[in-house]
Structure 1
Amino acid sequence: MVGGTVLLARRNDPGGSGAGGEQMRRIGQAVAGHGFEARWAATEADARAVLRTEAGLAAALVAWDLPGSTAVLREIGRRFTGLPVLLVMADGADEELDALPLWVAETVSGYVWPLEDTPAFIAGRIAAAARTYRETLLPWWRRRTATAPSSCSPWASPRASGARCWTP
């Protein structure tokens, strides 16, 4: 069962050549190993389309060097509250970190340097943040569905059906 979707917005194709592309592909595979679907976006338009169409979005990785990354980050801020956003930094981009606008630093949950950590470690950080987001998104839903008998529909009102589906 898929635990949600993780957006991976990066300028280059994940199957592309080079160590950075290979590392991002491995991160995507490791994210999938944690039970999340990886949705790749290579352009701003693709990333914004995923943001509009993915109801189960649990986290986002946005590369700072993606053309239009600021528009993607602003769209995330408009559409989602509390969504974990990790900013992917290019190798050796430490000086760029100091030049980030304040609103970007306030929007993102953390930073990822793909070539400085293992894919398993990065995917573990992503998965932990995504799980926390999913669990705190609708805690009342989890309580209701955990106590409901399997014969009851969680969408139906117990009073309307005459059943006592939601007994504590």
Structure 2
Amino acid sequence: MADRPHPPRLVDVAKAAGVSLATASRALTGSTGVSAQVAAHVQAVASQVGYVPNSHARALAGGQASMVGLIVHDVGDPYFGEIARGVLRETESRGYLALISQTERDPRAELARIRALRAHRVTSIVLAGSGYVDAGTEADIATEVRSFTAAGGRVAVIG
């Protein structure tokens, strides 16, 4: 099997620009310690080779990704569709990506979605239509939400 070409990585940009990996990273993230001239050169090389930053790697390095999670009961329901439209409008205006999932009114699915969004290092979670009456389910979801907010995440509940 032939080697498949990989998308350009930061190490490829650094090599092509003739700078260290750390300098390339700082130049592309706008961090201090890199002159405007070097930053412009690295950014031009990155554009030339088609480099796109890896959001998962950035999330690992910085703790969070520029993503917001939205959990609704049913994306086809007009009520939840309007909520999704508003979340998309706001996230896009701020340069964030929205991850939308539905639970089909299954509390176990809601808990699983919260955990999955946390694993993806989202900055915020919007829960729309939650509010189960089963004490066990409520406790599990509340524990997960408290853990997320204690780690710096933000949660909004629409009910």
Q: TM-score range by the shorter chain?
A: 0.3 to 0.5
TM-score, reference length from structure 2: 0.43
| Greater RCO (Cα-Cα under 8 Å, separation 6 or more) | 1
Higher Rg of the two aligned structures: 2
TM-score, reference length from structure 1: 0.41
